[in-house]
Structure 1
Amino acid sequence: MRFKRTLTATAVAASLLTLATACEDPAKAGPPAAPPSATAGAPAQASPAADAAAPASLAEVQAYLQKFTSCERLGTDPKDDRLPATDDTKDGNWAVAERGVCTDVKRHGDILIYRVSDMKTFQQAYYDHTMKMIEQGDGGFGNFSRTIVGKGFVVVPTKTKTAVDLVNSDLRILTCNPGFAVPAGYKREKPLVDHCGLTDFVSSKDGDGSKNLEEPHDPSTEGPEVPGQPATGSLGLASAGSMAELKKLVHPLYIDCTEMTVTDEHVQSIDYKPVVDREGPAAWGVKERAVCGKLGGAQRAHDLNWLDTVSDMKTLQSKAKAAQLADLKDDGRILATQNKLLVGTNIAVEVNRKANLNGLYQLQFLYLNCEPGFTAPAGYRLERAQVDGCVLTNFER
């Protein structure tokens, strides 16, 4: 019960958050998820450039980077406007000895450079920060960041294409998000700390990242944008054999189902409106239905998400389409409290929070979008739904 596709990992550090945020698309829409985790089945390989001497200066790092990409006008002045505005690495927790920045003239971007005195300390701090952000509710934290490690240094390019150029060397992207995995055809290596991974796969929402070699290609749908529904191919969707399997799949990293109620009754709150309405699950093609989160009582309900095992996916999608079009008819927008329907092959999840959406995209659930004229940019999944006029996608406006 695992799937195919990937996401990369987190911001370099609290000190790199400013730059990492700038490196990521503000929409933060998750791309496809991946096969078995790089951290679970990765070969026990050494860190990048294990036999090489660590650079003694930023100029030596610059010279190394110039073998693979443009790295001009090296600067170390804290007032250099190419550097992030904040620098929390000065607290000493990240073993950063020196930092600087150079410009990739070829790709029209910059490369932040950190010379690190203890790479294991840096990687542990990176892992700890990732876990902290996930615990605070950002389950997709760090997806698409470009944290690239070498022997004694770390670089963060602002442009995706720069990252692709750099990982064609012995440099690797460090990833610590538990949902991270690597597509077939790319390297999976072991870093200096547990529960992380190193890879030469660059994940990106802008379409400039590494090519996902698992993706089926149809020449008629390739281009800067992919209009309409794809003619062929699917990367596969999530599946589960029972409600217990579905809960195990999503809990606790992607949806908190510590409090879960299996029921056929219609449950909703002022803040969370489910997709399946008062007609009841059976009328929507749903076999079994559960709600996760606090149902409320003396206090308002919160964090409500619905899990569905589906006996008739076409019926579910048809009714969801009608409801979505009715919602769009008023002002062209989906109601803010309306949950989104994410589907697999025989299961569905109704979610509202952005962090939950990003996590479920990693598991290869896709959002049923029935907005007339909807398209998705290159680099996102866009697949046929079971009803005309709708698509399955991981792109959100």
Structure 2
Amino acid sequence: MRIKPALAAAAALLSLASVTACEDTGRKPGRDGAATPAQPGAPAPQPGPPSAGSTADAQKYLRRYASCENLATGGREDVRLRSSSVKTVGGPVREVGVCSDLRENGAIGIFLTPDMKEFQEAYHRQVMDKIAAGEPAYGLYSRVFVGKDFVAEPTSATTARALAKSGMRVLTCNPAFGVPEGHKKEKALADSCVLSDFVHTKDGADAGSPEPGSSQGGQPAQPANPGLPSAGSVSELRKLIASSVDCKRFSTDPETVAVRSIDYQPFIEGDPAGWGVGERGLCGQPGGAQRAHGLIWLDKVDDMAALQTRARAVQLKEIQENGGRPKATKSVLLLGGNVAIETNNAAARFGLYQQQFFRLECRPGFTTPEGYRSEKAVADGCTLTNFEPDGITP
């Protein structure tokens, strides 16, 4: 009886043929056993920022996330680039292209650069020059997306939000900008700039949601309204603000912290406890044999309501006495969640605003100008803002 071995061999041959046919045709069994076309795999994520050897290569990358048609390399004079902020950066840009964003009736500028660090530094200089020339909101609503060696700048906010989900990052150099909690934040190659996946718009509408799982500890991400910076001590605060404040010389000695200088006057006068401050430190050279230099006071706040109420009284008194203009050497009080900083250094304040510290503003009828941020203050009649009126300090 040799029938059973013969049947087994035939079954094996049929099974092998079936497997081979599946492999050759690229088809796989469907839900009911029928063959269905194999789906193409999603592009593998690229490690690090994307690179492009030409504007055509950049176009291919951008088309994975947005409409980018009718590519032209006519240079900076292309009418579709009329609103571009990148086309005026200059030197670091080697080649310029532009494609039509047909989906959003806009365009995307493409800029190749052989040195991304040089480009980011040049863009930072451009932003700061515009701010100094009287355009404080310049670059605040950046749509400058950077890769490894190319830059993309869409005219549409909707397209910008689509590109924010790519491997490119938004470059923002306006010191008033802060990355909301829950969004990706990375160090830029240019000091005082930041890379993020947050698209900042004037009305704040549909600015993009954080990616799932981007919050700490697996908890749901917080709304795109950042919490204020906090610290457990003035020593921790010193580390927190190291990128904005020169604090190589630091002391918590009460006599040193209580020093006064004709060039540097603190905002908090008298007993700090009466202001709700529990711990205080001082950055800079306090004086002595040499003149005081770079004094900035750091405060760990135990009672923020007491501090803001006292600060409001000081500000209203200044308004009555001299039109709200404090002495040029008097420090401005910047507030975090449970910390405060007193400084008359404008450059330091710009960096602190970027770290989401705010100034207390209690003038009657004050409204935060367009392009600046504000938060609710604890003290009645006041607001927290990163806007500074003219004449506040040098």
Do both share a fold (TM > 0.5)? Answer: yes
Q: How far apart are 1:199 and its partner, in Å?
A: 4.6
Distance 1:201-1:326 versus aligned 2 partners, 3 A rule: same
1:295 is matched with 286
1:172 to 144, 155, 168: 168
Q: How far apart are 1:106 and its partner, in Å?
A: 10
Check if 1:46 corresponds to 2:43: no
- SS of 2:115's equivalent in the other structure is helix
Letter in 1 for 2:96: R
2:304 to 307, 313, 321: 313
1:123 to 106, 116, 124: 116
1:258 is matched with 248
Q: How far apart are 1:276 and its partner, in Å?
A: 0.6
For residues 104 and 265 of structure 2, what CA distance do their matches in structure 1 show? 45
Larger RCO (CA under 8 A, 6+ residues apart): 1
Distance 1:164-1:396 versus aligned 2 partners, 3 A rule: farther
Distance 1:375-1:132 versus aligned 2 partners, 3 A rule: closer
For residues 359 and 115 of structure 1, what CA distance do their matches in structure 2 show? 29
1:210 is matched with 207
1:88 to 83, 86, 91: 91
- SS of 1:272's equivalent in the other structure is coil
Letter in 1 for 2:248: T
Greater Cα shift, 53-62 or 301-310 = 53-62
Identity of aligned residues (%): 39
Q: How far apart are 1:244 and its partner, in Å?
A: 1.8
Given that 1:342 and 1:365 are in contact with CA atoms closer than 8 Å, whether structure 2 keeps it comes out as yes
Distance 1:108-1:332 versus aligned 2 partners, 3 A rule: farther
Check if 1:98 corresponds to 2:91: no
Computing the radius of gyration from Cα coordinates, the structure with the larger value is 2
Greater Cα shift, 202-211 or 322-331 = 202-211
- SS of 2:384's equivalent in the other structure is strand
1:345 is matched with 337
Given that 1:172 and 1:198 are in contact with CA atoms closer than 8 Å, whether structure 2 keeps it comes out as no
Check if 1:326 corresponds to 2:317: yes
Letter in 2 for 1:76: G
Given that 1:49 and 1:151 are in contact with CA atoms closer than 8 Å, whether structure 2 keeps it comes out as yes
Unaligned 5+ residue runs, structure 1? 1-43, 90-95, 218-233
Alignment of structure 1 residues 179-190 onto 2, 5 Å: 183-184=181-182, 186=183
Deviation readout 1:230-268 (Å, 9 max, x if unpaired): xxxx743322222222222222x1211112232256433
- SS of 1:317's equivalent in the other structure is helix
TM-score by length of 2: 0.59
1:272 is matched with 264
Q: How far apart are 1:334 and its partner, in Å?
A: 3.2
Deviation readout 1:328-385 (Å, 9 max, x if unpaired): 2245343243322122333211122333223333444332211212222577553332
For residues 59 and 239 of structure 1, what CA distance do their matches in structure 2 show? 41
Check if 1:242 corresponds to 2:233: yes
Distance 1:105-1:269 versus aligned 2 partners, 3 A rule: farther
Greater Cα shift, 72-81 or 330-339 = 72-81
For residues 110 and 333 of structure 1, what CA distance do their matches in structure 2 show? 46
Q: How far apart are 1:164 and its partner, in Å?
A: 2.3
Letter in 2 for 1:304: L
Given that 2:262 and 2:329 are in contact with CA atoms closer than 8 Å, whether structure 1 keeps it comes out as yes
For residues 346 and 59 of structure 1, what CA distance do their matches in structure 2 show? 45
Unaligned 5+ residue runs, structure 2? 1-44, 127-131, 133-137, 211-220, 390-394
Given that 1:286 and 1:312 are in contact with CA atoms closer than 8 Å, whether structure 2 keeps it comes out as yes
1:371 is matched with 363
Letter in 1 for 2:380: D
Deviation readout 1:186-224 (Å, 9 max, x if unpaired): 5679999xxx9965322456747824666659xxxxxxx
Greater Cα shift, 342-351 or 370-379 = 370-379
Distance 1:86-1:198 versus aligned 2 partners, 3 A rule: closer
Letter in 2 for 1:369: E
Distance 1:77-1:280 versus aligned 2 partners, 3 A rule: closer
For residues 370 and 125 of structure 2, what CA distance do their matches in structure 1 show? 32
For residues 216 and 182 of structure 1, what CA distance do their matches in structure 2 show? 8
Distance 1:203-1:122 versus aligned 2 partners, 3 A rule: farther
For residues 45 and 182 of structure 1, what CA distance do their matches in structure 2 show? 25
- SS of 1:244's equivalent in the other structure is helix
Letter in 1 for 2:47: A
Given that 2:67 and 2:102 are in contact with CA atoms closer than 8 Å, whether structure 1 keeps it comes out as no
1:200 to 194, 197, 202: 197
